[in-house]
Chain A
């Protein structure tokens, strides 16, 4: 699986959009981009995933560049409850492909 690079930490004011970048320059054509987050020591929570096109769900939007070498997770209106570690992962379509978690981005949402 391709490796990802994320900034170790970011701050965001409550109510503002949080834009979390991820670099995955070695991604291959059959690898999906996934985002998870982990609040305190709870289990990782699935947020969103995509292959080529931008995706949006009730939690967030995922913007993938045309060359697929980077992506951005957007939380449109961050709240204090969005404070967490956010993981960007690439995952292929192979048999039982595992999720390889890096160290993620620690997002701190402040008043």
Chain B
């Protein structure tokens, strides 16, 4: 299995509080992604990174920010958590940018905003 660790694995937080999720990889892959998964929507891309300090938005980026100060860590921050951000969050990594390089996923973080 690819060396991807997400933390925490489970979190319950209150509406309006900031929350940071961490994705840590030991593969030295350049590309990292944050997805969320909700019933009826499949996995949707939030943000991605194509190198240290290089990030870009995905299709559902509102209310989220990311940072990547080291190759191995990609942080996802909910600036002010809302109930609509209750979801399962998955991190993925990939050695290459596109179709020729497979992406591997972490085990997910289940976030509940109350």
Residues of chain A having any CB pair with chain B under 8 Å:
30-32, 34, 36, 41-46, 49, 51, 87, 91-99, 101-104
Contacts and interface: CB of A to CB of B under 8 A. Distances in A.
Which range holds the interface residue count of chain B? 20 to 34
Given A43-B108, A98-B58, A93 B43 contact: no
A44 B42 CA distance: 11
Contacts of A93: 97-100
A87 B103 CA distance: 13
Interface centre among B48, B49, B97, B102, by most chain A C-beta atoms within 10 angstroms, is: B102
A96 B102 contact: no
A95 B99 contact: no
A104 B43 CA distance: 11
Contacts of B97: 93-97
Contacts of B103: 46, 99
A5 to B, nearest CB: 14
Interface string B90-104: 101010011110111
Contacts of B102: 34, 46, 49
B99 A96 contact: no
B84 to A, nearest CB: 19
Contacts of A87: 42
B108 A41 contact: yes
A43 B100 contact: no
B50 interface: yes
